[in-house]
Structure 1
Amino acid sequence: MSQTYELKAEARERVGKGSAREIRRNGKVPAVIYGDKQPPVSITLSYKEIFQRIHGGSFLTTVATIDVDGKKIRVLPKDFQLEPVRDFVYHVDFLRVGKNTMVNVAIPVHFVNEDEAPGLKRGGVLNVVRHEVEFNCPANAIPDAIEIDLTGRDIGDSIHISAVTLPEGVHPVIHDRDFTIATIAGSSAMKPEPEEGEEAGAEEEAEEETETEE
């Protein structure tokens, strides 16, 4: 799980397009905190600070604490809007999280032990079908990534979600089918496997050449 962090914010009473434009002109970002069966709270954030968090990675999968005029609220960023032309941070939505809050998040997939996959050693290609998978998990225990071990994987193998060891409490949102995450496919650069008898024949030929030289 990514390390949590804290953001300073100010509560805002005025809402609407006019108020949001004024906030942006003052170098800040309008945002809202909602959820956990409590009324939404409209806030403003430092543009520089929220920009760095968004572009620093793992923004939507890391629980944060927002200090709103001295009141601290634990949240999970759920969405953010960027101005389409200048890539300017326009607005941020935060979900208030409690002790038992469950959330749906897209978690990246990482592959390990590629050197231990016979299919890749022979020139096969790892075809990643899903670079991220959406999971339902506790808000306080969101994994940074899901690891898939490629040890022993060969040409033609498909890796399905059922073959992946998941952390406790983490479940795929798609649960009605055993979907594919990756496959190992052949390629033109593959090293051909010797057919049965070829290795023995090569050894006999080498022995004959040695005897002839002698």
Structure 2
Amino acid sequence: MKITAFARKEQGTGASRRLRRAGQTPGIIYGGTEAPVAITLDHNALFHALRKEAFHASILDMEVDGKVEKVLLRDFQMHAFKQMVMHADFQRVDMTQKITVKVPLHFVNAEVSPAVKLSSALISHVANDVEVSCLPADLPEFIEVDLSKIEAGQSVHAADLVLPAGVTVVHGDATVANAAA
């Protein structure tokens, strides 16, 4: 995904309020060997991009005044009751160093598992995402959790997940889903 941003000179509460009233969102790019850069983004484009799951767990191409950098969304703040993005933080990514990112989980085949079909058990999703460590080029958009073989009373742990090559789970003992009768 590609995002266009502009460097901003003015900082502070008043300057940020003026940006928000003008339909812009203040943000920052930090990390790597370069100094942090204060940026401004188009609010509507950012708001709609944040609604996409892939935007949160993928390497983004950020163009700031003609210069393209690889970044990762690290944090964003929303208004308490308005549908407004208040601020966004992006981290520069070095393609040769491992990063640690939370990747969303997609649960499949729960309705055909023996726990549901034979035991009338309920499958609960304990976690919606899992923290992985990998090179930025190996970062998956999501991880699929196959629940077709889960029995009643069993659990699926993060260590049991089928991961792409080069990706490791940070906390392998964490429970991802369980089936309870």
Output the TM-score relative to the length of structure 2.
Answer: 0.90
Distance 1:114 1:169 in 2: 27
Paired letter, 1:163: D
Question: For 1:11-50, what aligned pairs fall within 5 Å after superposition?
Answer: 11-50=7-46
Question: Structure 2: how far apart are the matches of 1:109 and 1:56?
Answer: 14
- 8 Å CA contact retained: 1:30, 1:42: yes
Change (3 A) 1:26 1:152: closer
Question: Quick one: which of 59, 71, 74 aligns to 2:70?
Answer: 74
Give the aligned partner of residue 136 of structure 1. 133
1:1-214 correspondence runs (5 A): 5-122=1-118, 123-174=120-171, 178-186=173-181
Tell me the CA shift for residue 113 of structure 1.
Answer: 2.8
Percent identity (aligned): 36
Q: Distance in 1 between matches of 2:39 and 2:149?
A: 52
Residues 60 and 79 of structure 1 are in contact (CA less than 8 Å); yes or no, is this contact kept in structure 2? no
Residue 153 (structure 1) shift? 2.1
2-structure distance, mates of 1:52, 1:149: 30
Aligned to 1:39, the other structure's residue is in SS state coil
User: What secondary structure sits across from 2:116 in the alignment?
Assistant: helix
CA drift of 1:90 comes to 0.7
Of stretches 70-79 and 131-140 in structure 1, the one that deviates more from structure 2 is: 131-140
1:41 is displaced (CA, Å) by: 0.8
Native 8 Å contact 1:124 1:155 kept in 2: yes
More helix by share: 1
Displacement, 1:149? 2.1
> TM-score, with normalisation over the residues of structure 1?
0.77
Kindly provide the CA deviation profile for residues 136-184 of structure 1, in whole angstroms up to 9, marking residues without a partner as x: 2222332122222223321111212222221222222225xx2221111
CA deviations 1:35-78 (Å, max 9, x no partner) are 11210011111111111111233322122112111111111111
For 1:134 and 1:89, the matched residues in 2 are separated by 25
Larger Rg: 1 or 2? 1
d(CA) in 1 for partners of 2:163, 2:174: 15
Consecutive unaligned residues of structure 2, counting only runs of 5 or more, are none
* Equivalent-residue separation in structure 2 for 1:17 and 1:103 (angstroms): 32
Cα distance between partner residues in 2 of 1:17 and 1:44: 14
Q: Distance in 2 between matches of 1:27 and 1:69?
A: 19
Instruction: Name the SS for the 1:31 alignment partner.
Output: strand
Query: In the alignment, is the contact (CA less than 8 A) between 2:130 and 2:158 conserved in 1?
Result: no
